Amino acid sequence: MTVAPYEHQPQNFLGLEPALSDPATARSLILPIPYDHTASFGSGARNGPAAIIAASRELEHYDVNRDCVAHLSGIATLPPLEPEAAGPEQMTDKIRAAAAALLDPQRFVIGLGGDHSVSVGLARAHAERWPDISFLHLDAHADLRLEYQGSRYSHACTARWLSELGPVLQLGIRSADQDELRAPKPHPVVTRRSREVLAGRDWAADIRGLLTDNVYLTVDVDVLDPAIMPSTGTPEPGGLGYHLVLDIFEELFGCRRVVGMDIVELSPLQDLRGPDVICAHLVQTAVGLRWPAAGGNG
């Protein structure tokens, strides 16, 4: 299959009318970051943000799973953040600065990647605003390497950078190097393998016991099983199901303040729209969970 040509399709999330998509009043801000310079296997994640936004326009505004209308709190889609040609470290700085300008306790910033390296700049901006932050990392890969393919800013190093900012809880991991797991980290990193989560390990207790009050959520879509999420650069067998990820979302948002999040590593495929729709639903669900009072019910 070929990569879907989404780069030049300006859209706004859910196709909302101006009153509900105005950046001046919307409580959720979507920041597209079409960057995949550090991709190491399959490229195309630069097309992920546009694919998610395009797919969202086909969703019902009423969320039947949660009996709410999430968009009533307002969802503004910002212009895509242009890639920085100088390299991933400079791109990280650019993302941090862009996110920092948006952060406010009454705003919820959702970054759409792009490869997982984009999460580092987003996380740094949030850690500057909320110094007691911790991280929930949903992923197939541990991403704890100090460097990969000659770069400390590879997508394989993202969680290692997060550990410099606060404690990290990883769920769904099924690919890692021994050394990256064993190496000391600046803050605690707890890794729960996919088989543990699928077997019923009490991941909810981990969320309640290991994370601080303010949490940043980063979702690499390859945490999902490739049977439902083939559109990603580094798929791994044995992933989580969609409803389990929704359960994790509901537990996290129900007991902690999620101050920001990202969804990364969607590499859309031509004529295969299901994965794009899954990602759009995850964004919609997160908005409804973050602002439950605004959504009401159906």
pLDDT tens-digit map of 234-292: 999 999 999 999 999 999 999 999 999 999 999 999 999 999 999 999 999 999 999 99
* Whether residue 225 has pLDDT greater than 60: yes
Q: What is the arithmetic mean of pLDDT over 40-64?
A: 88
pLDDT the model gives residue 154: 84
The edge-to-edge listing of strands for the beta sheet with 257-264 is 75-77, 28-33, 108-113, 257-264, 214-220, 134-138, 168-173, 189-193
**pLDDT > 50? residue 140:** yes
pLDDT of residue 9: 47
Furthest C-alpha separation in the chain: 52
Cβ atoms of 166 and 190 closer than 8 Å: no
Range of the domain at 130: 13-295
In the chain the first and final C-alpha atoms are separated, in Å, by: 39
Average pLDDT of the chain to the nearest whole number? 92
Per-residue pLDDT, 201: 86
Average pLDDT over residues 4-30: 82
Task: Please report whether residue 8 resides in a domain.
Answer: no
What does DSSP assign to residue 82? P
Q: In this structure, what CATH number is given to the domain that contains residue 142?
A: 3.40.800.10
DSSP character string of 245-296: HHHHHHHHHHHSEEEEEEEE-B--BTTB-HHHHHHHHHHHHHHHHHSHHHH-
Residue 1 in any domain: the answer is: no
pLDDT in tens, 164-218: 999 999 999 999 999 999 999 999 999 999 999 999 889 999 999 999 999 999 9
What percent of the chain stands above pLDDT 70? 92
Of the pLDDT bands very low, low, confident and very high (cuts 50, 70, 90), residue 298 is very low
Q: Which tops the pLDDT comparison, 156 or 95? A: 95
- pLDDT category of residue 7 using cuts at 50, 70 and 90: very low
Prediction pTM value: 0.93
Asked if pLDDT for residue 42 goes beyond 60, the answer is: no
CA dihedral 260, 244, 213, 124 (to 10 degrees): -30
Contact 236, 222 (CB under 8 A): yes
Tell me the C-alpha distance between 214 and 256, whole Å: 6
Domain count, the chain: 1
Rounded (5°) CA angle 4-55-263: 85
Under 8 Å between Cβ of 49 and 268: no
Nearest to 284 by CA among 135, 63, 35: 63
Cα–Cα distance, 142 to 246 (Å, whole number) = 21
